Structure 1
Amino acid sequence: MKDLIRANAGLLFAGVATFILMGAGQALFGPALPVYVRDFALGEGEAGLFVALLWVGCFLGVGFMFFKGALVGPRHTLAVMAAGMGLMAAEAGWILTFAGGMFFGMGYGMATAVFNPRVMRAFGTRGPSMLSLLNATFGVGAIAAPLVFVWLGSDPAWTFGLVALALVAVFALAGPAGRESVAVEGPVKAFRPHWGILAFGALAIGMEASLAGLGPTALIRAGIEETRAAQLLSAFFVVFLLARVVLIFIAHRVEPFVLYTLSIGSAALFALGAAVWTPAICFVAMGASAGVFFPGYYVTASGKMGEDLRVPPTIVAAGLVGAIATPLILAPLVAGMGERGFFWVSAALLGTATALALLSLRRMKV
């Protein structure tokens, strides 16, 4: 294993640094949203649009990867993300600010399709565990960003500006790391979309996006003050990170769809707890479930759909469909459902998905 790590040190550096900043950028959308609602006088639908545009950008980035993925390296993804963060830091009106969110999302989607398959292939049988490690580092940035946001006086301009500068620094150091892993050695399985697992992924990633993007607003609506909501989002990502660290040691030993099913089932229970008991504790606990959503989905889908270069963008794109649609649907829907409506709806969606996943366990085995 040490030899594999040494051989792929450049890939790991670029991937870890990029994922940390991806986590930081995404985690800032939630705490920044109430500030933008106030400063730009936005309605509920426009607020949901801000979160959704991140994922629209991701979808566009992944779409580009589907057709031109072999030409894209880490520096391309970092440049696009830095441009998006810079636009948001400028705060030149809500339209350009929202456009910056979409540009950041484009780089985010491209980076996901650049690094995940490369790490899976580079580490062979340990690929699922190393994939969990890579995605765990996402949580480091996601934990720190809301705390930095509060420390900087809940000022989106300063916080997004710092992330932009960090992305530029990684751009300068990343070089072409990871490009050597683009090609697949040996026979390649045919490209065959598996609509069942793609639908499960769309729902799970849609809920992950909603928890990160709409969660702080839902907590505020439930009576938690704004600064505390940002701190709870940081705690959510602490638990998120811990779950992915645990996956490093077990992901290669457990059937991936079993992990997926356990993750959405536990998330449904925690959402119900937030609705009937305490939103603060149960929202943070949902971080453990959300941390397992993507690894369980991605590894299952990879096993079902083959090794064609179009597979990783397709897997990510399906999740992004959910990530785009879910906040747009939930934001206006839960606005009139009382102070805990977000958690009631989340419990219903996740509970239904859990029942369907249990019925699909045999068919989803890889």
Structure 2
Amino acid sequence: MLIGALQAFYGPAIPALREEFGLSPSVAGLGLSAHFVGGVAGVLLFDRLYGRTGNRRILAASYLLMAVGSAGFAVAPNWPLALAAALVAGFGFGGIDYGLNQLFAAGFGHRSAAMLNVLNAHFGIGAILGPVLIGVAGAEHYPVVFGVFALANLPLLLCLRGVRDHPPGLPRPSGSSEPSPSSPHTVATKVSTPAARALRSVLAVFVTLYVLHVGIEAGVGGWEPTHLETVGHGAGVAATATSVYWLMMTVGRFLVAPIALRFSAQAIVTVSCTGMTVCLLLAAVPALAPFAYAGVGLFIAPIFPTGLPWLQRAAPHARRAGAVVIAASMTGGVAAGPALGKVIEWSGVRAVPLLLAAASAVCLAATLWLTRATHPKPAR
């Protein structure tokens, strides 16, 4: 909930940031960009440190970095220092995003998909509450909100005793030693070149799925209000429909949690991508658009958390796979705005749902390919 709220704080604080530091809209938006850049770096950095430090220290360092960065953003006397503080908070954000998702993917066995949906649903609750907190306090009081947020991170340091440093039953990574000649990692990468190529293909398609679906998520959130107003809906309807879209993402994850105990991750992600594509096509119909976007939120919700345990099972010995996929998902969120904006310059705003539907169709194709590629081969 805390990392969801932090990500959502920056946007509502932009008016006050512009007034305090004399910023243009685009420069004020760099706060969230710095946060995401730090997030990507945090995921990759803490994954590198994992073998030497273990899960407890990764999470503890992440909580502290997020607290220090948030406090720094609250008291920064100028914009460059505020951006540096957002970068530091982003480092912590990335470490927590990586650490918790990996722990839930590895630690709950067959219940991992369900528990990851619950975990990410609480991220959504935080993202909904973040703007509410800024609104209640007033944008001009954003330093107080960021300061209180920094303090709220500290009690989490007391909750780490029950976290294992390494998942039981899996090989423990080592910071300095090489894998043994008989280890599965060695066999996959050195002995069986076709197997190594197949693993790289699977990882590449997972990355494609995550980059595109997070890009769609950010694209709908960013462009839905503009598209709805362009096709004739009022500003109030557009704003409400966008809020409902984010709400449906949170609701969808809670709804899928019990379903994930009965159906495979492959089936859930396939249905999600299919429903997302259909809803985006329906969003091109002006009268249906507000309802169709709500459907997009519902169907896109399970993809991120349900895909991680699927990846864990498909590549159990590719330890960095989760870090690469999570970092790629953040990159998709950062790149979605400028990339979609560039395409819209020549296609027009009315084409937004069709452009996103095309990306969603690629997600569906990637999911079908992964289902075939990761399906266990029958013994001969």
Q: Does 1:64 align with 2:45?
A: yes
Query: Per-residue deviation at 1:169?
Result: 4.1
Q: Distance in 2 between matches of 1:137 and 1:219?
A: 28
- Give the match for residue 298 of structure 2: 288
Aligned residue type for 2:169: E
- Give the match for residue 27 of structure 1: 8
Deviations 1:189-208 (A, max 9, x none): 53754222222122122333
Give the number of the structure with larger relative contact order, counting CA–CA contacts within 8 Å between residues 6 or more apart: 1
Query: Per-residue deviation at 1:362?
Result: 1.9
Deviations 1:75-105 (A, max 9, x none): 2111122233334434644444444433332
- Give the match for residue 206 of structure 1: 215
Q: Distance in 1 between matches of 2:47 and 2:169?
A: 19
Q: Does 1:241 align with 2:250?
A: yes
Q: Does 1:75 align with 2:99?
A: no
Deviations 1:280-339 (A, max 9, x none): 444343321232120232122212211454333233223233233323322454367545
Matching of residues 78-117 of structure 1 within 5 Å: 78-90=63-75, 92-117=77-102
Is the alpha carbon distance of 1:221 and 1:322 closer, same or farther for their aligned partners in structure 2, counting shifts above 3 Å?
A: same
Contact 1:37 1:47 in 2 (8 A): yes
- Give the match for residue 164 of structure 1: 150
Contact 2:42 2:95 in 1 (8 A): yes
Structure possessing the higher radius of gyration over alpha carbons: 2
Q: Distance in 1 between matches of 2:16 and 2:278?
A: 30
- Give the match for residue 126 of structure 2: 141
What's the TM-score, normalizing by structure 2?
0.75
Q: Distance in 1 between matches of 2:9 and 2:322?
A: 26
Q: Distance in 2 between matches of 1:352 and 1:234?
A: 26
SS of aligned partner of 1:354? helix
SS of aligned partner of 1:363? helix
Contact 1:69 1:309 in 2 (8 A): no
Q: Does 1:182 align with 2:191?
A: no
Is the alpha carbon distance of 1:51 and 1:186 closer, same or farther for their aligned partners in structure 2, counting shifts above 3 Å?
A: closer
Unaligned runs of 5+ in 2: 172-182, 189-198
Q: Distance in 1 between matches of 2:306 and 2:129?
A: 25
Q: Distance in 1 between matches of 2:350 and 2:70?
A: 32
Query: Per-residue deviation at 1:266?
Result: 2.4
Contact 2:31 2:83 in 1 (8 A): yes
Query: Per-residue deviation at 1:130?
Result: 1.8
Contact 2:67 2:150 in 1 (8 A): yes
Query: Per-residue deviation at 1:136?
Result: 2.0
Query: Per-residue deviation at 1:360?
Result: 4.8
What's the TM-score, normalizing by structure 1?
0.77
Aligned residue type for 1:40: L
Aligned residue type for 1:85: S
CA RMSD of aligned residues (A): 3.4
Aligned residue type for 1:243: G
**Range moving further from structure 2, 20-29 or 89-98:** 89-98
Query: Per-residue deviation at 1:177?
Result: 4.4
Aligned residue type for 1:182: H
- Give the match for residue 40 of structure 1: 23
Matching of residues 347-358 of structure 1 within 5 Å: 347-358=357-368
Matching of residues 216-255 of structure 1 within 5 Å: 218=226, 222=230, 225=235, 229=239, 232-255=241-264
Q: Distance in 1 between matches of 2:236 and 2:12?
A: 8
- Give the match for residue 196 of structure 2: none
Aligned residue type for 2:209: F
Is the alpha carbon distance of 1:211 and 1:185 closer, same or farther for their aligned partners in structure 2, counting shifts above 3 Å?
A: same
Q: Distance in 2 between matches of 1:138 and 1:102?
A: 20
Q: Distance in 2 between matches of 1:158 and 1:95?
A: 20
Deviations 1:14-56 (A, max 9, x none): xxxxxx111112233444457767862134xx57755443332
Contact 1:256 1:300 in 2 (8 A): yes
Identical pairs, percent: 24
Q: Distance in 2 between matches of 1:227 and 1:97?
A: 34
Contact 1:236 1:287 in 2 (8 A): yes
Aligned length in residues: 341
1:125 to 107, 110, 134: 110
SS of aligned partner of 1:276? coil
Query: Per-residue deviation at 1:340?
Result: 4.4
